[in-house]
């Protein structure tokens, strides 16, 4: 057994792992998931490999395992959510374009309305002037 295998991270004084330990856990979990994506190696084998090949003394091991296993377990659901987010982003972009078009059209109509209002006011003013003569 290697020195790092089975070693738990030293908890911060509050009993919680340090933020850096969680950051390292996220980075290693991402590497493991990336490796899994391309190699199709079993997640348990990747986890064991990472435990041997990396200094895990300053890694939140529970968080690392939860991320690695949880993302792998929920991959199908995560893929669906990502697809839905992509669709919502596209829909949102389309709606923003439509809103911009409507705002431009509204501005043009307001300008035309102001021009018409000014012409009508000018005509009323001329009619009043004619009435007084």
What is the reported pLDDT for 2? 41
Over 70: is that where the pLDDT of 10 sits? Answer: no
Tens of pLDDT, residues 19-44 = 899 999 999 999 999 999 999 899 99
Residue 37 CA to its chain's centroid (Å): 21
Whether residue 16 has pLDDT greater than 80: no
CA distance 25 to 76: 22
d(CA 20, CA 59): 8
Work out whether the CA dihedral 65, 68, 71, 76 comes out positive or negative.
Answer: negative
Write down the pLDDT at residue 132. Answer: 84
pLDDT for residue 15 is more than 70: no
């Amino acid at each position: 057994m290697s020195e790092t295998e089975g070693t738990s991270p030293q908890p911060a004084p509050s009993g919680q792992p340090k933020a850096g330990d969680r950051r390292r856990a996220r980075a290693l979990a991402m590497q493991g998931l990336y490796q899994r994506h391309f190699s199709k190696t079993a997640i348990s084998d990747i986890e064991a490999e990472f435990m041997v090949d990396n200094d895990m003394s300053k890694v939140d091991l529970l968080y690392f395992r939860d991320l690695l296993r949880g993302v792998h377990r929920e991959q199908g659901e995560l893929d669906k959510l990502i697809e839905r987010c992509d669709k919502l982003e596209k829909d949102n972009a389309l709606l923003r374009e439509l809103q911009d078009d409507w705002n431009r059209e509204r501005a043009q109509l307001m300008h035309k309305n102001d021009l018409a209002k000014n012409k009508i006011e000018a005509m009323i003013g001329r009619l009043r002037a004619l009435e007084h003569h």
